[in-house]
């Protein structure tokens, strides 16, 4: 490992060869490659077309083109699997379901802020077994597969295994969050402010990035009060395979509760209690 490199990069191909979810991971990485090609080409484009959806959130032509490209590949490679996407339709699970956010951070994307990513998760039964978060403008990709670990890198052939932090006290913790508006609407804003006032550090990295920083041990906790399944599905296996914990704000595991708390696990109960 270079003295100038924080993380060691090496091949994990042999170690993951026997994992039953490896083929799905490799396909998901291909989907992310196709997404990156579209999103990077349209980022900052003068002719980017942006509309406002009924929920008052923006959607661009890049969002729709990216999800369409992912769906086209899945139609060939996994024709029997269901798909739950942000822009082009949401199906109930048929046992296996791909959960897609073509551009997480669209408000950043349309304003030229380079913090956005494509999120792709694979659900089998009630479990999230593969997750890929690809943020090409940050030159970073995170991925995980069940019982196989969490990583940063383009794929298993050259990756860095990541782990959550070991910070065990709230007063020593760093937390990331999004805006305060949703917390106000939930009625928990005063509790959140009291909690973060007791912490070492608060920063608003926002969206997917907060959770990926938890997974790689750079941040100790992240939370948001209002999320959809496509915002979270890809994040769950990455956080949990990195040794962390991912629940809703009532402590129920997984991405099913419409909100999220991710942590290194050591801080989780204390944060839940405070909120």
Domains annotated on the chain, with CATH: 13-161 (3.30.540.10), 170-274 (3.40.190.80)
Q: Is the pLDDT of residue 33 over 60?
A: yes
* pLDDT attached to residue 130: 98
Confidence grade of residue 56 (pLDDT, cut at 50, 70, 90) = low
147 is annotated as contributing to ligand binding? no
- Average of per-residue pLDDT across 148-175: 97
Confidence grade of residue 1 (pLDDT, cut at 50, 70, 90) = very low
* pLDDT attached to residue 2: 39
> What integer best gives the mean pLDDT of the chain?
93
Of 4-13, 68-77, 205-214, give the lowest mean pLDDT range.
4-13
* pLDDT attached to residue 235: 98
* pLDDT attached to residue 4: 42
By the 8 A CB rule, do 40 and 161 touch?
Answer: no
Of 68-72, 131-135, 175-179, give the lowest mean pLDDT range.
175-179
**Phi, psi dihedrals of residue 18, rounded to the nearest 5°:** -95, 0
Three-class SS state of 72: helix
86 is annotated as contributing to ligand binding? yes
Q: Which residues pair with 202 in a beta bridge?
A: 175
Q: Is the pLDDT of residue 153 over 60?
A: yes
Q: pTM (2 decimals)?
A: 0.94
Is the model more confident about 123 or about 58? 123
Q: Is the pLDDT of residue 137 over 70?
A: yes
Those residues with Cβ within 8 angstroms of residue 212's Cβ, 6 or more apart along the chain or in another chain: 133, 135, 140, 142, 235, 238
Confidence grade of residue 6 (pLDDT, cut at 50, 70, 90) = low
104 is annotated as contributing to ligand binding? yes
Q: Is the pLDDT of residue 5 over 70?
A: no
Q: How far apart are the first and last CA of the chain?
A: 40
Please count the other Cβ atoms lying within 10 Å of the Cβ belonging to residue 176.
25
DSSP β-ladder status, 89-90 and 117-124? unpaired
38 is annotated as contributing to ligand binding? no
* pLDDT attached to residue 66: 96
Nearest alpha carbon to residue 103 among 133, 123, 73, 131? 133
92 is annotated as contributing to ligand binding? no
Q: What letter does residue 95 receive in the DSSP assignment?
A: S
Inter-helix orientation angle 22-42/61-77, to 10°: 150
């Amino acid at each position: 490992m270079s003295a100038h490199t924080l993380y060691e990069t090496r091949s994990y191909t042999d170690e993951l060869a026997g994992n039953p979810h490896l083929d799905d991971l490799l396909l998901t990485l291909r989907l992310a490659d196709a997404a990156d090609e579209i999103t990077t080409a349209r980022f900052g484009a003068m002719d980017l077309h942006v509309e406002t959806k009924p929920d008052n959130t923006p959607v661009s032509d890049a969002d729709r083109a990216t999800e369409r490209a992912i769906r086209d590949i899945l139609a060939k490679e996994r024709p029997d699997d269901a798909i739950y996407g942000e822009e082009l339709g949401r199906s109930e699970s048929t046992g296996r379901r791909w959960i897609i956010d073509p551009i997480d951070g669209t408000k950043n994307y349309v304003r030229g802020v380079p913090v956005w990513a494509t999120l792709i998760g694979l659900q089998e039964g009630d479990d999230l077994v593969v997750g890929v978060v690809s943020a090409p403008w940050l030159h970073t990709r995170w991925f995980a597969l069940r019982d196989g670990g969490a990583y940063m890198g383009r794929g298993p052939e050259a990756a860095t295994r990541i782990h959550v932090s070991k910070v065990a006290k709230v007063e020593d913790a760093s937390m990331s969050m999004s805006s305060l508006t949703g917390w106000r609407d939930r009625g928990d804003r005063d509790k959140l402010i009291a909690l973060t006032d007791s912490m070492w550090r608060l920063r608003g990295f926002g969206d997917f990035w907060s959770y990926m920083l938890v997974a790689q041990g750079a941040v100790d906790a992240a939370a948001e009060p209002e999320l959809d399944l496509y915002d979270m599905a890809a994040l769950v296996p990455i956080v949990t395979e990195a040794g962390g914990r991912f629940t809703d704000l009532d402590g129920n595991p997984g991405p099913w509760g419409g909100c999220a708390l991710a942590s290194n696990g050591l801080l989780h109960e204390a944060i839940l209690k405070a909120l």
